[in-house]
């Protein structure tokens, strides 16, 4: 399985996307904090976090007795650059050219 495949697999699940949104809103949360935001067991949340970690979307750091989970947005940016940006570039360039043409005519 490639890195892209792991990221797409991780992003395919709504619970995992919610976990990423929670970490985006406030980074460095414990499993207990994340568990309180979802309607699933601690084991279920831990399992989803493990998939996110394997995809490189979440990294953990120990702080004393706590294990803090942090968002790593780099893999998402790489997916954007590889799969999204190249498909929108032509359209954006066309719109910019159209804007310039309309402004010059005015």
Q: What is the pLDDT of residues 59-101, one digit of tens each?
A: 999 999 999 999 999 999 999 888 887 777 777 778 888 889 9
Burial of 14 per CB tally in 10 Å (0-12, 13-18, 19+): exposed
Q: Is 104 helix (H, G, I), strand (E, B) or coil?
A: helix
Q: Is 73 helix (H, G, I), strand (E, B) or coil?
A: coil
Q: What is the pLDDT of residues 32-54, one digit of tens each?
A: 999 999 999 999 999 999 999 99
- pLDDT at residue 56 is higher than 80: yes
Give the predicted TM-score (pTM) of the model.
Answer: 0.80
């Amino acid at each position: 399985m490639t890195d892209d495949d792991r990221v797409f697999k991780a992003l395919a699940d709504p619970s995992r996307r919610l976990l990423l949104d929670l970490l985006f809103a406030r980074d460095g949360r414990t499993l207990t904090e994340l568990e309180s935001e979802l309607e699933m067991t601690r084991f279920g949340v831990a399992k989803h976090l493990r998939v996110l970690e394997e995809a490189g979307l979440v990294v953990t750091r120990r702080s004393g007795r706590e294990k803090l989970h942090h968002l790593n947005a780099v893999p998402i940016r790489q997916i954007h650059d590889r799969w999204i940006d190249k498909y929108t570039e032509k359209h954006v360039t066309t719109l910019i050219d159209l804007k310039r043409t309309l402004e010059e005519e005015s």
